[in-house]
Amino acid sequence: MKKLETIDQNFIKTLLDNIPQNIEELSVPKDKNNKKTLELISLAEEKDLAISFNKDKKLSAIFKPSQIKDINFLEKLISQKENSLLLILDHVMDPQNVGSILRTALAANVDAVIVSKNRACHLTETVRKVSKGASEIIPFVIVNNIKYLLKNLKTLNFNILGCDGTAKKKYYECDYNLPTAIIMGSEGKGIKPNLKKDIDEMIRIPMNDQIESLNVSNACSVILFEARKQRIKEQC
């Protein structure tokens, strides 16, 4: 895969904090009086990264992009990680939403984000940009068939949750300390009916009657941070 470039300072900091070895070139402006730029230069020096200077007054990083993962990677991850937390996106097509979801998923300690091979948004340039670097860290898994994946997860004792505005159970009434897979559907059509048969519990986010639904990335934030809160409490 060809190398990519970013000028987003948050993206660059995420790379420096987590995977500095993937940065192949960091270029900073000669006039480096900007506080944020100075912080990034200091961080790069701590990581022993070579720094070049330019006259364009533009901070940029050329990096090796993350690789898309497959079902074999996912199976290995699950076997090695107790109580995995997985996020499955069913026909979520908007790259802005997917990028935002990846950023949230990384912040909430999700182990992997999973999409289908067809009719899904993959790791596009826009997704990477919106994710602010999260796309390079959190595993992004593409599977051939989500329904087949759900059946396999059930054999591994995963609790499979699906978000739906008509569900009776509220999202905070679930136990997220179990191995958990959360399915989020597209804003227009929601989770496909054929997948609902394999979902253990349908959950909803209660909200003001004046609002019909949340943007899928916002809904992910609400649910994933409830999962994070419960899991942190369990560890204390």
pLDDT tens column, 56-98: 778 899 999 999 999 999 999 999 998 999 999 999 999 999 9
Which pTM value belongs to this model? 0.92
Q: In whole angstroms, give the CA distance from residue 82 to residue 224.
A: 18
Q: Residues 147, 151, 152, CA angle at the centre, nearest 5°?
A: 115
Domains, the chain, ordered by start: 4-63 (3.30.1330.30), 71-235 (3.40.1280.10)
Q: In whole angstroms, give the CA distance from residue 133 to residue 103.
A: 8
Q: How many CB atoms lie within 10 A of CB 138?
A: 25
pLDDT tens column, 166-214: 899 999 999 999 999 999 998 778 899 999 999 999 999 998 887 777 8
Q: In whole angstroms, give the CA distance from residue 60 to residue 58.
A: 6
Residue with tokens 């959360």: 182
Contact in structure between 160 and 181 (CB atoms under 8 Å): yes
Q: Write the single-letter amino acid at 112.
A: A
